[in-house]
Structure 1
Amino acid sequence: MPWVMPMLGLKSESIGGSKEPVLKNFLPNAGLVFGFLCFSLSAGADSSEGRPASVTVHVLGVAQDAGNPQINCYKPRCLRVWETPALSSAGSSLAVVVDAQSFHLFDVSPGLPKQLFRLWQDTGLSLDQLDGVWLTHAHMGHYTGLIHFGKEAAATYRKRVFAMPRMAKFLRTNGPWDQLVKDENIQLQGLSDHQAVRLPALTITPWQVPHRDEYSETVGYLIEGPSKSALYLPDIDKWQKWSKNLVEVIADVDFAFLDATFYSSEELPSRDLSEIPHPTVMETLDLLAAMPESLRQRVIFTHMNHSNPLHDPTSEAFKTVSQLGYRVARVGDQFAL
C-alpha cells in the first residue's frame, strides 16, 4: 500500500530500476502507527468474518425409512405418488447449510442422490462441501445412504461421520460399511449422550431416546445456530418412555421436527404395531392438547410412513393437524437458525 509509506517514515528509492520501500531516517510517528493499526483491525471487523453466520435448515426428506411411495405398494394412495414423482419423498433427512458454503447432513437415506440434487438446485452445494454427517441410529432409512460414499460411487475422502459408540462400532465391524472406514471414504467421530459438539456457527448435541436398538443407540439432535435452535427427533418408541418432558422440550427450541411415523394405530391393519412402536400423531396431539398455540407452531411432523395421510395436504388428517396449529414437514422447506 504505497500511501502508507510516508505515514511510517518510509521513502521509495530506485533499486535495480524498480521502486521498493527502503528504510531511510526511519522515525515512526507513534500516533500514526497506532492509528494505522486501529484502522486495519476495524477494517477486518467490518468484513464478512465479523458478522453472524447464516445458518439454514433444508428439509431433504419427510418419509419413513422406505420412502413414499414404498416398495410393493400399488394402492390408490401410492399410485397417486408413483404417477406424480413430485409428490414423492425419500427418508427423513435435514441439511443444515452454513453461510451458503458448507453443510451438515442429519441422517443419510437410501434416496440420498436425489436429495443432494435438490440441495444443489437450491444452494449450489455438492458433496464436496459436506462438512459432516450426523446419524440418529442404524435403521435402514437413516444410514444406508453412506453406500454412495464408497469407491463404486462418489469415492469421498475422510468425510466426517458423527455417531454414538454402538453406531460407530456397527459401521467399523460390518460390511460393506467397514470398507468405507478402511478406504478412508469416511472418518468416524465419536459422540456421547448430552455432550455438545461446538463447531463454527453451530452447536450440536445428541439426546439419546428409547427406541428399538437392535444394532445401535438412537438419538435425536439439538441443533443450535447463531439465533435459533431446532430439535431433530425422527424416531422414538413412546413419549412417555423418554426422560424429558415433551412440552418443556418444545418450549426450549424454535423448531421441533418430531416422529410422525403413523397417524393412527389403525393405519396398518396387517402389521402388529407393537413390534414397530412409535407415538402416533393422534397420541402426540392428545399429549400436547393443553399446549398454547404459540408453541404448537414450533412442532413440525416428519418421518411419515407411506400409509400416513399427512402426506396428502388435501386429507382430513392434514387439515386437522393444521387447524390445531401444528405443521407438517414438506421437502424443500427452509428454516433459518
Structure 2
Amino acid sequence: MNLRILIIPVLLLFFGCTQTNIKPEKQLEPIPNTDVYLKVLGIAQDGGMPHINNSQEYNDVANGDRKKELVVSLGLIDTEQKKKYLFDATPDMPEQLDMLHKELITNTIIDGVFLTHAHIGHYTGLMHFGREAMGADAIPVYAMPKMNTFLSTNGPWSQLVGIENIKIVPMLADSSITLSRKLKITPFLVPHRDEYSETVGYRIEGPEKTALFIPDINKWSKWTTSIIEEVKKVDYAFLDATFFSEGEIPRPMSEVPHPFIDETVALFKEEDAAIKSKVIFIHFNHSNPALDKQDVKRLALEKEGYRFARQGEIFGL
C-alpha cells in the first residue's frame, strides 16, 4: 500500500486536533440598512483581558481557551457624511481605529473622539496621536471642562494640545452637539471617582434610534436620575457591568464602586422583556464571569432579555 496514502489522513487528524478550544461565536449581524450606526470596538474594563499580573489568563488566550477582549469603546459611523467618531480613547485605540477604517475608508483616521473621563482605559489612547507615534494634525477631542483642564495642563497630554496633535472641543453637561442632520450627541454627568476630571455618559441620537453609553458610574442609587426611566426612553442602553456581584475580587469593592450586574437586574426586575432587552451590559472586569458566553448566570439573564455586548456588534441608529 502507498505510504503517502496512509500518512496524509494521519497528518490531517493531527492538525485537526491542534485547533483552538474557543467555540466559534454566533455570526454577527450584517451592517444594518442605515446611514448611521454604532459598532462595539471593545467590551473589557480599563485593564483589558488578559489582565496584568494574571499569567493564567495570558496562557488561556495563547492556548485558545479564552478570547482577548479590548477595552471598552464604541465607534460611530456616518456613511452619508463619510465621518466616523470614537467614544473613549483606550490603550487599544490603534487596533480599534483600524477596525473603524475597515468600516469606512476616508481621508481622516477619525473625525472626533468623545471622552467620558480621566481613568486609564478611557483617555490614554490619545498618546498614539503624539509625535512619537502618529504625529496627528488637530484631531478633534470632545472634553468636559475639568477634562479639558487636565489634558491642557498636565504632561504628556499638554504636549498633544500645545503642538496641536489634538484640538480640544469643549463640551458642557446636557448641552447637545449636532454632528450632522442625522446625528446629535449629548453628554450628561454621572457620579464616579472623579480624581482628575468629571465623568459623563452620552446620549447618542440617530435619525431613527437612540443609545445611552454609560461605561462607568459608581452606583445607580448615587445618580439623581432614574436609570429605569432613561432606559425606557432609548433603544439601546450600554451600561456599566464591571462586576457581576459582591466579593468578586480580593479587595474591598467599595474602593472601586460600580453597579453590580445583579444590582442592575434587581432594579429592572418588574420590567417586561422588551425593556430588559434594551440593556446591553459592557465594561467587564477580567474577573467577571459574564465574559464567559457559556456562564450559567449570563445565560439565565439572556433568557430574560438582557444582552451582553460583543466586540464587532453593530447597532443601527
Identify whether the pair has TM-score above 0.5, normalized to the shorter chain: yes
Match of 2:211 in 1: 230
Secondary structure of the 1:285 match is: helix
The Cα RMSD (Å) is: 1.7
Change over 3 Å in CA distance of 1:317–1:78 after alignment to 2: farther
Residue in structure 1 matching 2:202, options 204, 207, 221: 221
Whole-Å separation in 1 of the counterparts to 2:295 and 2:206? 34
Q: Is 1:208 matched up with 2:189?
A: yes
Q: Is 1:170 matched up with 2:121?
A: no
The C-alpha deviation readout for 1:172-223, integer Å capped at 9, x for no partner, is: 0111100000111100011111111112121100010000000000000000
Match of 1:103 in 2: 84
- Contact 2:282 2:308 (C-alpha < 8 Å) held by counterparts: yes
Whole-Å separation in 1 of the counterparts to 2:61 and 2:77? 29
Match of 1:160 in 2: 140
- Contact 1:91 1:109 (C-alpha < 8 Å) held by counterparts: yes
Whole-Å separation in 1 of the counterparts to 2:116 and 2:228? 22
Residue 324 of structure 1 and its aligned partner are, at CA, apart by: 1.6
State TM-score, norm by structure 2: 0.86
Opposite residue 223 of structure 2, the aligned amino acid is W
Q: Is 1:240 matched up with 2:221?
A: yes
Whole-Å separation in 2 of the counterparts to 1:308 and 1:266? 11
Number of equivalenced pairs: 283
Match of 2:302 in 1: 322
Residue in structure 2 matching 1:179, options 148, 153, 159: 159
Q: Which runs of 5+ in 2 are unaligned?
A: 1-32
Residue in structure 1 matching 2:123, options 128, 139, 143: 143
Q: Is 1:311 matched up with 2:291?
A: yes
State TM-score, norm by structure 1: 0.81
Opposite residue 113 of structure 2, the aligned amino acid is V
Residue 124 of structure 1 and its aligned partner are, at CA, apart by: 4.2
Residue in structure 1 matching 2:237, options 251, 256, 260: 256
Whole-Å separation in 1 of the counterparts to 2:306 and 2:199? 25
Whole-Å separation in 1 of the counterparts to 2:77 and 2:104? 11
Q: Which has the higher contact order (CA 8 A, sep 6+)?
A: 2
Q: Which runs of 5+ in 1 are unaligned?
A: 1-51
Residue 321 of structure 1 and its aligned partner are, at CA, apart by: 1.9
Whole-Å separation in 1 of the counterparts to 2:168 and 2:34? 26
